[in-house]
Structure 1
Amino acid sequence: MLEIEGLTVHHGLVRALKDVTLRVEEGSITAVLGANGAGKTTLLRVISGLIRATSGRISAFGRDITALPADQIARSGIAHVPEGGGVIPELTVAENLRLGALWRRDRADRAAALAEMLELFPPLAPRLDKAAGTLSGGERQMLAIGRSLMGRPRMLLLDEPSLGLAPLVTAKIMAVLRDLRAETGLTVLLVEQNAHSALSVSDHGFVLGLGELVASDDAATLLADEQLSDAYLGLRLKGTG
């Protein structure tokens, strides 16, 4: 589904990623873990075309997307939910959702997608006509994810969905991701600092440290590796989340 080879990214003179190589399998949930400044957000932003790689190659669905503009990457089937969700507070919940499917010409399909999002995130249904700025933090995150799913992507890039949310809300969002993968085959690349929460729903995990890939293994193995957690995540995996 996604292959990254030798990816290096600079922000001016600062190197954010160095020679990162990884592979994401189709239909999987893959966690990208690491402390602040590890390069996690940069990784998602370069995949979605928001910033450019200094060197390396990104391939998705068998196609080289390294130099594609962000809108073409989105149309290819990759949706990106940035840290903080990024909803438009002045627009209503319904308007925010519809923005996610503007490029789809089939009106019936757009209407069906909207109904699916309301079924997936029931708290949004009674708030359709309310401004997004009136939503709680958890509802905003649901709205941001729902908007991205309106375009029926094949891959979802999700950046820190638990940021600032109560543990119960985070657990609900993680459960939705697990159900989506099971029901639709959606591939998810999940960036998280909450390692326990992310790995509990993931098949595989990568750990970044100062822009370099320092570990790659199945989620259960990473979850049990307390030494790795202490060295690169700044927290203990067991008993967190």
Structure 2
Amino acid sequence: MLEVSELVAAYGPVRALDGVDLSVERGSITAVLGVNGAGKTTLLRAISGLLPPKAGAIRLGGRDITREQPEDLVRLGIAHVPEGRGVIVELTVEENLRLGGLWRRDRAWLRTGLARMFELFPPLAQRRHQRAETLSGGERQMLAIGRALMSRPELLLLDEPSLGLAPRTAAQIVATLRTLREDTGLTLLLVEQNAATALSVADRAVVLNLGRKVADDDAARLAADDRVRRAYLEG
């Protein structure tokens, strides 16, 4: 579904990605792992159009999307949940969710989509009329994911969804991701600092280090590779 070839991205003179290759199968969960500064967030920003690449190519379903604008990529089926649980705190839970599906101009989907989000994330249903500023960190993360899902993406990019959350809340969100893949066939590209969490849900995993890909394998095999874990996933 997604093919990244020889991708180079930089912030000024600093090269954050240096010739990265990545392939994501339709209906799979692919984890991108590595310590801080490895280039994980930059990879998602490049795919979603927020950071134009310096070189390389990005293809979605065979279509070259390397130079597409972020809003056009949403229409092509990509949704990006950045790190930091960004929601509009002045709006209610329901208003945030409606905003995610607004561009589709599909009233029927707004109704069924809202019902689906409240089914996936029961705490949001209980707080649908509360302003987002009243939510806990875990609830804000649920809302950020739910808002992205309201655009009905085929590919969901998730940046550190468990960061800063209590273990139980993080586990609930990871379980929801697995449910989404199994029930809808949604394809997920998941960036996680917590390698154990990511590998528990992923089909495949890629490890980045200083902007380069250093490992790419079945998630279960990478989880069992002590050398990779010690060298690139700890510290």
Question: TM-score w.r.t. structure 1 length?
Answer: 0.96
* Deviation string, structure 1 residues 213-240 (Cα, Å, up to 9, x no partner): 00000000010111111111125xxxxx
Match of 1:36 in 2: 36
- Long gaps (5+) in structure 1: 236-241
Secondary structure of the 1:43 match is helix
- Pair 1:127-2:139 in alignment: no
Match of 1:238 in 2: none
Match of 2:103 in 1: 103
Match of 2:136 in 1: 136
Superposed counterparts of 1:1-241, under 5 Å? 1-235=1-235
Counterpart CA distance in 2 for 1:127 and 1:55 is: 45
Counterpart CA distance in 2 for 1:231 and 1:88 is: 39
Moved more, 5-14 or 225-234: 225-234
Counterpart CA distance in 2 for 1:114 and 1:50 is: 27
Counterpart CA distance in 1 for 2:148 and 2:94 is: 13
Counterpart CA distance in 1 for 2:66 and 2:104 is: 24
Secondary structure of the 1:103 match is helix
Counterpart CA distance in 1 for 2:76 and 2:29 is: 19
Counterpart CA distance in 1 for 2:216 and 2:122 is: 36
Counterpart CA distance in 2 for 1:69 and 1:163 is: 28
Alpha-carbon deviation of 1:151? 1.0
- Long gaps (5+) in structure 2: none
Q: Percent identity?
A: 65
Alpha-carbon deviation of 1:93? 0.5
Counterpart CA distance in 2 for 1:88 and 1:162 is: 19
Aligned CA RMSD, in angstroms, stands at 0.7
Question: TM-score w.r.t. structure 2 length?
Answer: 0.99
Counterpart CA distance in 1 for 2:10 and 2:123 is: 40
